Amino acid sequence: MGGGLPPDKLLPDQPLPASALFLLCYLSGGYFGVIAGFNSLRRGVVDVDLLMVLAALGAAWVGAPFEGGMLLFLFALSNVLQNRAMDKSRQAIQALMRLRPETVKVLRGQDWVTTAVDAVQPGDKVRIHAGDSIALDGELIRGETTVDESTLTGEAMPVLKTPGSPLFAGTLNGGGSIDLRVTRAAEDSTLARIVRMVEEAQSQKANTQCFLEKAEQRYALGVILITLGLILVPWLLLEADFDATFYRAMTVMVVASPCALIISTPAAFLSAIGGAAKRGLLFKGGVHLERMAKVDIVAFDKTGTLTCGKPKVLSIQPASDIGESELLTLAAGLEAHANHPLAAAVLDAASARQLTPQTAAEVQTVAGHGLQGIVQGRALLLGSPAFLEEQGLKRPASVEACRAEGQTVVVLAEHLPDNTLRLLGVLGIADEIRPDAAATLCALKRLGVKKIALLTGDHPEVARRVAKAVGADLVFADLKPEDKVTLIKDLALTGTVAMVGDGVNDAPALASAHVGIAMGAAGTDVAMETADVVLMSDTLSRLPEAFALGRRTRRIVIQNLVFAMGIIVGLGLLALFRGIPLPLGVIAHEGSTVLVCLNGLRLLRPTRLPRVSQKQKSSCGHCAGNPACALHITATV
């Protein structure tokens, strides 16, 4: 059989058993296609299911029931393989849920009772033995252990846990027996929330996928019209043989169907999202993964992102009439009402000296500036030098000395009855730069990021010191939260911007960027709700991996689209002008559909970042000689 011509009409000459088998083949292979096509028609949509059913019926009409049966069989088989592949992508994250045990030992009265995990409530005490999986989110109350949190963060190194440390469901207790107090019910645990968010993310379609799905029905309708034209024009106007014309038209219909084209994008995005989540990278939808590949400007918050987020009080300079201990207790009394790394540093400094913070009343937060409140009947103001200057306090001479040392300055003053301010003292606080910050920014530039900006509410001198150490190109300091939003919008005028922050103080900026990225967010509700991408690990090393995954996903999507279009155009032209056997068209069409699914499934596996030569490593002015740089450049996603 060649030249696209049909075989002799076999159906009338077939014995009854053969005809019955053909009929059974058509009914079984085409049943779901007919149902799907009919449901689509009821919605006014023409899809590929209808195309395949029409092509199979057309083959039987011209006496080629074997080719039609093969088409329906391979189409059904292709759909099964597609569904299996897509289910594998969708269920990749579900494997995490199997890490959580179904039962746990709970303290009931004086006895430890085995109880179903779903029946445990916040506040219950749970015992976890060595080597067991932690079933629920909680706080460690007895014992000391190391916990493998790689299921959530992707980090292989165990984390030391002491009383008061948070514990997360799905992680592994690697030390001795411990007790924890449950803080979240099973359905609200960090692990359960991650699974829900990944499922929601996989239902959110990328722009490319949405475009293809919208174009599918118009394309399918166009294929039907072209097929009718290929039948009627040669037969009516050119007096061509009807059977040969009809057969060729059916072949064109099969090879022009957009199955591989439509499945090419969801196969890639679902695999990438599911695989990344298992490694501690949570993308909230294909659209964010797609945008990640286009990012050329990355803005970083400083405190808690490029720095460790645990600043320490290094300089205590009280006024002449009070001592260091009094200054610390007064400042700590106000900071006890704040939720900021600088506040934690002041409280830690007081605790280290075994000082009890003074009780503060009527404490108010002045966003982006500081605090004010009543302590021991004294109206106190605590905040940045600029804030105190706005209130009328002359800048202390010690401020510049602290800033010269790269310290953030906090000033404490008392509001006097005559409406003036009296300086009580100055605290100098410094935050250590993350050891992997310079290597991370270097890796981002290797991946194609053109500009890296540092955004902070800190003093310009401190910001410039950090920016120089990590290799940031742009520095913006003394920023209020609303200023960060304005800067993100300004940067967005020149490129695609990603904002990296802690997900709490930087929430407005994260929401304003093309891609908002929160890091170290295991258990942080605000980070998960605000950001588009969540790095579950509390390290920057995962960030280049997220960008590399976005770029690799884009490459695979492009590969799938080019391959699918090439098959459609190439086979379509061959079928139209040279003629090809219908079985060959069927095999090529269904085979291409399966191949793009398999190509997308490659994103379930880790992705290696591009390797660089020793010369390139040594040319980096920010992390040359740092072994971590080479490690990050060759890390896996």
pLDDT band at 630 (very low <50, low <70, confident <90, very high): very low
pLDDT at 401 > cutoff 50:
yes
Which residues, at least 6 apart from 211, have a Cβ–Cβ distance to it below 8 Å?
Answer: none
Whole-angstrom distance, CA of residue 447 vs CA of residue 293: 10
Output DSSP code: residue 62: T
User: Closest Cα to residue 583, out of 64, 176, 236, 216?
Assistant: 64
Could you give the residue range(s) of every CATH 3.40.1110.10 domain in the chain? 312-430
pLDDT at 452 > cutoff 90:
yes
Whole-angstrom distance, CA of residue 482 vs CA of residue 509: 8
User: Among the options 301, 431, 436, 458, which is catalytic?
Assistant: 301
Residue 218: what are its φ and ψ, rounded to 5°? -65, -40
Q: What is the DSSP string of 360-381?
A: EEEEEEETTTEEEEEETTEEEE
Q: What is the CA radius of gyration of the chain?
A: 32
pLDDT at 478 > cutoff 70:
yes
Per residue, the 3-state secondary structure of 519-539, as one string, reads ECCCCCHHHHHHCCEEECCCC
CATH of 102-188, one of 3.40.50.1000, 2.70.150.10, 3.10.129.10, 3.10.50.40: 2.70.150.10
Q: Is the dihedral of CA 193, 196, 202, 205 positive or negative?
A: negative
pLDDT at 628 > cutoff 60:
no
Whole-angstrom distance, CA of residue 52 vs CA of residue 224: 11
Could you give the residue range(s) of every CATH 2.70.150.10 domain in the chain? 102-188
pLDDT band at 118 (very low <50, low <70, confident <90, very high): confident
More confident call, 534 vs 79: 534
Q: Is 240 helix (H, G, I), strand (E, B) or coil?
A: coil
CATH of 312-430, one of 3.40.1710.10, 3.40.1110.10, 3.40.640.10, 1.10.287.1080: 3.40.1110.10
120 near 182, Cβ under 8 Å?
Answer: yes
Q: Is 328 helix (H, G, I), strand (E, B) or coil?
A: helix
pLDDT at 132 > cutoff 80:
yes
Q: Which amino acid is at 348?
A: D
Which residues, at least 6 apart from 508, have a Cβ–Cβ distance to it below 8 Å?
Answer: 481, 482, 484, 485
Whether 301 is catalytic is: yes
**pLDDT score recorded for residue 633:** 42
pTM for this entry? 0.67
- Name beta bridge partners: 370: 366, 383
Structure tokens at 127: 């015992």
469 near 431, Cβ under 8 Å?
Answer: no
**pLDDT score recorded for residue 9:** 43
